[in-house]
Structures are given as C-alpha cells and as structure tokens.
Chain A
Amino acid sequence: MSTGSNLFAEPGLQQITVWARGVVMNKDARDIVVALAEAAAREGKYVQAWENYVDLPDRVYVPVRAYARISTDPIESKYIYENETPDIIILVEETLVKGVPVLRGLRKGGVLVVNTRRSPEEILSFLGDTGNLETLVTVDASSLSTAVTTLSGAEGATDATGIGAGIAAPLAGAVVKATGIVSLENLAAVVKNPEAMRRGYELARVTRLETKGAAQEVAVSAGELLKQLPFAGTVPSPVSENEGMVTGNWRMQRPVLDQEACTSCDTCWIYCPDSCITRTDEGPTFNLKYCKGCGICEEVCPSGAISLVPELNFKD
C-alpha cells in the first residue's frame, strides 16, 4: 500500500450515507444503516453502522447523517469517523436536495435514493452538477409506511421499537433494487415491516444518468477542520447574523405572507425563536437564510395571514 489518500483504499468496501432531519427522522436514518448492515452480515460481510457524532445531539430538523460500511474484507478504516467518499446516499426527506451538500465526495458510479413523490427530473433540477452520480432512485416511502419518532436509541440508549418499523424499510428496499447490495430475503429477515420493504423495492423508480465524470468535491477532512477551528479562547461577536451557523437548509416548509390579511400586529415577529422576522410597514418579512421552517409564525398569527408552503415548490 502506498501512502496518502490511498492509505485506506479498500476495493471491497461500500460506504453508505443516510441523510435525515434531526429528532423527527433520526430513528429512520439509523434504522436504514442498521438494517442494511445486519442483512450484509448475514451474507458473511464485514459491517459497521453508526450515527455521525458531529451531528449529535440532534436538534429538530437539523440535517443529520447515519453511516454504514459493508465490505468483503476486514474494514481497515473502521476508526474513521465519517464516510468521506460514499457509494450510496439515501435521503429520508426530499428537501435535503436543496442547500445541503449531499453529493459531496460521492464516488464514481454513485447511487442516490430519495424519498419523494416528485419526478426524477424535478429532483435533479435542485442538485445542480451531479458529477459522479450514475443512478437516481425515487420512491414515495412516506406513503408506504409511517415514520417512527422516538428518542430511545439516540446517543446509544436502547431502542425497543424495532429496526425498520417505519419508512426505513421501504427506503432500504429501494436501495436493494438499485444496487443489489444485499439480498431481499436477508433484508426481509431483519426489518420489522418486510411488507413495506418489498413495496419500496417494487415501486422504486430507477433512473440511470450519464455520469459527468467530474470528481465530486471531497469532504473536508476532520484534520483540516480541526486546523480551521479556533481553540477555545475568544471569538468575535456577530452583529446582525451568525454566519458560522446558517440554518436555512433546515427548512422543509417556507412561511409566505398574505399581505392583504396581515394587520401588522407583530405577533409573529415577537415569537420567532430564530429572530428571522423583520417587521415593516407592509407586514413581516422572513429571513430565509436562517428560517428553520418551525411554523410558529403561521401558528400564532391571529389573522391567518401566513401559510407554510413546501420548500421544493420554490426554485430559489
């Protein structure tokens, strides 16, 4: 073996990265990697499955990752924290295609599986340069099963709700259809809802793409990040926004104002936990760079002047 980036070159290894929304879909993300890893273990593979420590503790709607590694040989890179060059990427929720660098580091021949009702073309329109992406899989997993939200199992606690009771099962089924990474039978043996898993397999729509060949930007390594970090001590205070933590890509639904109905009462303004509303003579304006789409403004408005619209209905 040579040195540098080839140090951990493992030809028999497949890296799987699942993206989801914190708290509300954390369990389903974890279940996908655990189910695929356990199914592969039944086939004599070497496996790992874990949640990305950097994303913990998870917060409601924050993008979070769960990882699996499946290999024909003992995994040498098992102490590397993150999957830096995934082969398969799974999005538990569709708006993750917008503003989240989900394809970063994707290897040649890469596969992307998205839980969505939208067409592959529409999903592609948000992804921009798809680089190494060769296969896009779309499946409406949310219609096949219900997401399971539980705090059990987070950060190492015990989870008694079972693996793959929710939308993890159909999504794992869709992965198998596009990649054959494990057999359907072995996956069925480990998930709690094999019926939904099979439906996910059947209904998954597989689109083969022309790969652009251009290598995806590789994730910044943990070592690099460490060098960029200030070591404790003092950092400057922000004045109008904290650009170190831009949260607009947490948003699944966007607040939209009906100016006619607004009475400029400022109720929405006072209650936004993220200081994302500015009051003007024409009513509130929303700071979409940071708005997390919590929906409080819509909920507290006494005049029904705010509605929440799916984020993917907007191109910007």
Chain B
Amino acid sequence: MLERIPSIRKAPDEEYYVPGHRTCAGCGPALAYRLTAKAAGPNTIFIGPTGCMYVANTSYGCGPWRVPWIHAQITNGGAVASGIEAAFKVLARKKKYQGEIPHVIVFAGDGGAVDIGLQALSGMLYRGHDVLFICYDNESYANTGIQTSPTTPYGAWTTFTPAGPAVPEGKKLFPKDNPKVVAHGHPELKYLATASIGWPVDLMNKVRKGLNAEGPAYLHIQAPCPKGWQFPPNKTIEMAKLAVQTGMFQLYEYENGEYKLSVKMEERKPVAEYLKLQKRFAHLQPEHIEKLQAFVDARCAEVGITVPAVASAR
C-alpha cells in the first residue's frame, strides 16, 4: 500500500522522472509526469502512447524515466497495459515471477485517452485489469502542432478550429466529458478522479489511491500547455489554478461508491478571468464568453459545485 502524502514538505525526495527531456519550458504535462512518477515510486511500469509525453520525452533513443517505460500506439495504451498486467499475473501464478507485481500506469494524452485511444481504454476497464490509466489533458492534439481534440474547450483556437468570419468563435463544440463516460459505463472500475497540477499533493494522493485500488482506475489530470494555449511558460501553475477556481475544470473523486469534491471553494471566478490570459481565446466576443460561462455554470451545478461565479474586485 502506498501511504497518503500529507503535504508538499513531506512528499518524497526521490525523482523517477529525471531532468533531461525535450518538453516545452513550463510544460504542464511534464510536471504531471514528474508528480505521478514521484507518487508511484520505483516499482512502476509506464506505458506511453504517442503524443508529446512520448515524442518530447524520448528524443534520440533516450528517455527521462528511471523506471521501465514502453511506447504504445496512440490508439492502444489500454491494450498494451492489459497485456503487461495479465502477463505479470500469469507469471506470478505459475511461480515464474516472485517479486512484487509492479504498478502499471498508462500516461496518455487526451487524444490517446478520450478520442482515438478510447476503445482500448474502455476495453481495459471493462475487463477489469489492475491498471491505472491516466489522461494528461492538455486540451489538444499538441504534439502534431495543436489540433482540436474532444477536450478542447468551446471557443478555443487550434490549427483545426481557426477563428474567422465564418466561425468567429473558433471551436464550436463543447468538450467531451471523459470521466463521466468512464464512470458510468464500467462496472469493474474501482477508482476514478480528476486532478490538477495546481494541486500537487491532491494529485499525488489520487495517483496512490488509483494504484492501491485492486482493479482498474482512471485519473484525468488537467495540465496546461504553454505552447497550445499560448501563454508564457512561467504561468503554467497560475493557469491550472484558475481553471479550477473558475470551474472550467472540476476536481472530484469517486471512491468505493462514494463521490466527493476535492477542493472547497467560497466562490468561483468568472471564466473571463481565465480566458483573457490565453491567446487561444483572444478572438472571443462577449456573447461567446457568456455562452461558455453558462456551460460552466451548468457543469459545476451538475458535479455539486454550487457557489456562484463572482468577479474579483479591481
């Protein structure tokens, strides 16, 4: 059993995602990787479907993981993990492997989890493999130069949703809610949570709970991407915090049949305070921002965040 981490100060020193990777300066998903690896510890195998966290981390025949890591196709992270987990179980049963069964973690992008990799994820959860599937959500197909994905927010510019005279808001669709898809359709699922790099202790504990659960677990981590969202790389943490404080991203967990919110909020900030710091939203008109605010209000109400959005005093 992995123990609860009480605070930043008490978080383990050891790094299993070491310096030396070609991710952007200020990359949110890289921080998510580091925190995940720190929480999971030495007896871990990572599966890395294609995406930034494969391509940027493994340039030129090397990688920053101190633990075993294997590449999977963007489509099949869940399937590769299923095979690894099943193999360890069989080897242990046949007494060909006596060690402690390693933690098996898929670290997939939103493309590799919510879109093109969804069926392998769903199959893995449905069959009940003891795997922690993590989606690091940078809200686009980032590695290939920022194309829209199902989690790209309404109103965001991407190279596939350019804002122009015909479609002034850029992206027209509202995002797919993958935690919801996962939670409601998989009877074997043992643990589900959302997390943010802005709350590192909460994130690491959710990784540990997902690994402690005997059976499949799903963790959806929002991880801001300075390149794709177009904000300066020193603002990554601020962006992550604002996403939660505005209700654009909601933090909760679903454990042993019990659902609970992860952070207490006195009030929400209006989404406009989040949007104005990212160039991907620079083209939005007031009516688009209103539409997005209404969507966020409804989504927050749905997950039980009842506090209103209040503009901060200037």
Which residues of the partner chain B approach A229 to less than 8 Å between Cβ atoms?
A: 60-61
In the assembled complex, the CB of B276 is this many whole angstroms from the nearest CB of chain A, namely 17
A61 close to B20 (CB less than 8 A): no
B20 close to A290 (CB less than 8 A): yes
A146 located at the interface, meaning its Cβ lies under 8 Å from any Cβ of chain B in the complex: no
Which of A108-116, A212-220, A238-246 lies at the interface with chain B? A238-246
Which residues of the partner chain B approach A23 to less than 8 Å between Cβ atoms?
A: 24, 226-227
Using A23-B227, A246-B20, A273-B30 as known contacts, say yes or no to A57 and B145 having CB atoms under 8 A apart.
yes
A245 close to B8 (CB less than 8 A): no
Specify the chain A residue showing the minimal Cβ separation from B21: A245
Q: Which of A138-173 contact B (CB under 8 A)?
A: 149, 151-152, 154-155, 157
A45 located at the interface, meaning its Cβ lies under 8 Å from any Cβ of chain B in the complex: no
Task: Please measure, in the bound complex, the distance between the C-alpha atom of A155 and the C-alpha atom of B9, giving whole angstroms.
Answer: 43
Task: Please measure, in the bound complex, the distance between the C-alpha atom of A245 and the C-alpha atom of B64, giving whole angstroms.
Answer: 9
Number of A-B residue pairs at CB separation under 8 A: 159
Specify the chain B residue showing the minimal Cβ separation from A248: B19
B65 located at the interface, meaning its Cβ lies under 8 Å from any Cβ of chain A in the complex: yes
A-B contact pairs, 29 of them (CB 8 A): A60-B24, A60-B25, A60-B227, A60-B233, A151-B146, A151-B159, A151-B230, A155-B144, A237-B67, A237-B69, A240-B18, A242-B63, A244-B59, A244-B60, A245-B22, A265-B8, A266-B8, A270-B35, A271-B197, A271-B200, A272-B34, A273-B28, A273-B34, A273-B236, A275-B19, A287-B19, A295-B234, A296-B236, A299-B237
- 1/0 per residue, CB under 8 A from A, across B38-71: the answer is 0000000000000000011001111111111100
- 1/0 per residue, CB under 8 A from A, across B67-97: the answer is 1110000000000000000000000000000
A235 located at the interface, meaning its Cβ lies under 8 Å from any Cβ of chain B in the complex: yes
* Interface residue ranges, A against B (CB under 8 Å): 22-23, 57, 59-62, 149, 151-152, 154-155, 157, 229-230, 235, 237-247, 250, 265-267, 269-276, 279, 287, 289-290, 292-296, 298-300
A276 close to B25 (CB less than 8 A): no
Specify the chain A residue showing the minimal Cβ separation from B23: A59
Contact partner, B21, options A149, A242, A266, Cβ 8 Å: A242
Interface of chain A, main secondary structure: loop
Task: Please measure, in the bound complex, the distance between the C-alpha atom of A245 and the C-alpha atom of B21, giving whole angstroms.
Answer: 6
Which residues of the partner chain B approach A62 to less than 8 Å between Cβ atoms?
A: 22, 24
Which residues of the partner chain A approach B233 to less than 8 Å between Cβ atoms?
A: 60-61, 294-296
Using A60-B233, A149-B230, A242-B20 as known contacts, say yes or no to A294 and B61 having CB atoms under 8 A apart.
no
